[in-house]
Amino acid sequence: MTNKPTACFLATAFALVALAAPALAQNPGIDYIGYGWETGGLLPSEAGDELVVAAVATGADPVFQVDFGVDELTFHMYGMTSGGEVPLGGGAVMVNYSGGFLDIYRDPAKNADWGVNPPNAVAPATFVDGALAFRGEFTSLTFYYAADGSGAYEGALNGLDGEVIDDVCANCAYTWGGSFTLAAGAQIPDGYHVQIDGMLELDGSVANEDSTWGGVKALYGN
Amino acid sequence: MKARITIWLTVAIVASLPLAAQAQQLFDFLGQADLPDGVGDALTLHGVVVDPAPAATPVPLDFADFEYTLVVTDLLLDVDGSPQQYSGGTLVLYEDASTAADHADPSTFTDGTAVLVGAITFLERTMFTATLGTVSGSVDWTGGAMVGLIAPQDLDGWLFFSGVNAREEQVEPGNDEVWDGKVEPHDPIVENAIMNWGELKRRF
């Protein structure tokens, strides 16, 4: 665990700007969209393939006080290893991934660019620049696909690092969303295999819309 | 001298012109769905549309000055099961600068200007677990203040995709599920260009 600045410093350094925005859900969360690629392609997902996702936040609960006019939040999910497809019947499949991390970066450059045929000069590079806001490790991650190539995913994470936390928090984050492949007709940049649209949520109630990143940290006893 | 008769035709020509490759285009939304009680009943969805930057919206939206909401009504459940099959719904994209969307008051999603109105031709909802699922469907745009910005050949067959989550931590009172999704064309579209006959000739 790296030496962490104090909560007071982090609260100041995070450019606290109140935004007039509705809460995204009952839990504080960040909405994101992005694209992923898997070694060996998708679908099928073969055992041992690695899935990588690059995404941008399109909204954040007011408790985070993120000013999207100043910063972008980018997501980089990586190191997820496919366990192969499990048929569910009716042409649907389930893919469990082992390992992997979800990083969120806060970056005033606002330069996120998926490009084509990743990895490339901009992906994931433009999704991993800036300050590390959150790093979580997946304790579970499962993708599901229906026969038409549309699907969904969900995963649970431990918090490991980043501005929002001072210490490891177990099972403190949850991410889910829709996943859509070329077979479903989704608009996907060349070289990418799946389009995702999801949410990252932090457990705990949103008690105070005036909370700062420090307040979010307090949810985990930090 | 050969008589030259010049006939000027000033005609509003609606054309989609090939332009450079464009960024991905979508209307990205996060909403709450109220599921039907059974076959023949209707699903409703109230969502907020967000700026998808660096992706783009298919028609220009001003997120700095307006809030955009997406509302689905009258989407009838035709076949129950897995997947569920729906049809007959209306999807409206609203632009509003006065009231913030609030799931406690659905009317805050339907005020303002209807910038795009569409017919949902079909929609399927598939649940993989008790709380996680997916939605896919198709929308034909039929009206709204901005429908003229979409070339006629690009109005039909837009894709409606969404993840579905029914965890109680996600769902607002009075609703059944959170839908996090998008409405997008199959391929990026170009803005409908209106030009006169002379301009069109010069391009070709």
- Please report whether residue B82 resides in a domain: yes
Using the predicted structure, report yes or no on whether residue B30 has a pLDDT greater than 70.
yes
- Please report whether residue B198 resides in a domain: no
The parent domain of residue B98 ranges over 23-186
- Please report whether residue B65 resides in a domain: yes
- Please report whether residue B5 resides in a domain: no
- Cβ-based contacts of A60 with chain B (< 8 Å): none
pLDDT digits (tens, 9 = 90+) for A188-220: 999 999 999 999 998 643 222 333 444 444 444
- Please report whether residue B46 resides in a domain: yes
Backbone angles phi, psi at A28, to 5 degrees: -65, 135
pLDDT digits (tens, 9 = 90+) for A61-113: 877 778 899 999 999 999 999 999 999 999 999 999 999 999 999 999 999 99
Q: Which two tokens stand for residue A124?
A: 């994931």
- Please report whether residue B195 resides in a domain: no
In this predicted structure, what is the pLDDT of residue A191?
Answer: 96
- Please report whether residue B27 resides in a domain: yes
Residue A54: name the closest of A131, A139, A99, A117 by CA: A117
CA angle B98, B99, B102 (to 5 degrees): 165
B54 shares contact with chain A (CB less than 8 Å): yes
Q: What percent of chain A has pLDDT over 90?
A: 65
A43 or B75, which is more confident?
Answer: B75
Contact A209, A201 (CB under 8 A): no
SS3 per-residue string spanning A9-66: HHHHHCCCCCCCCCCCCCCCEEEEEEEEEECCCCCCCCCCCEEEEEEEEEEECHHHCC
Low-confidence winner among A31-35, A194-198, B8-12, B158-162 (lowest mean pLDDT) = B8-12
Q: Which of B136, B160, B172 to mutate to test the interface with A (most CBs of A within 10 A)?
A: B136
DSSP of A197-208: EEEEEESS----
pLDDT digits (tens, 9 = 90+) for A130-164: 999 999 999 999 999 999 999 999 999 999 988 87
Domain count, chain B: 1
Contact residues for A24 (Cβ-Cβ < 8 A; gap 6+): A30, A31, A59, A60, A61, A199, B30
A31 shares contact with chain B (CB less than 8 Å): yes
The pLDDT confidence band at residue B2, using thresholds 50, 70 and 90, is low
- Please report whether residue B203 resides in a domain: no
Q: What is the CA radius of gyration of chain A?
A: 17
A56 shares contact with chain B (CB less than 8 Å): yes
In this predicted structure, what is the pLDDT of residue B22?
Answer: 57
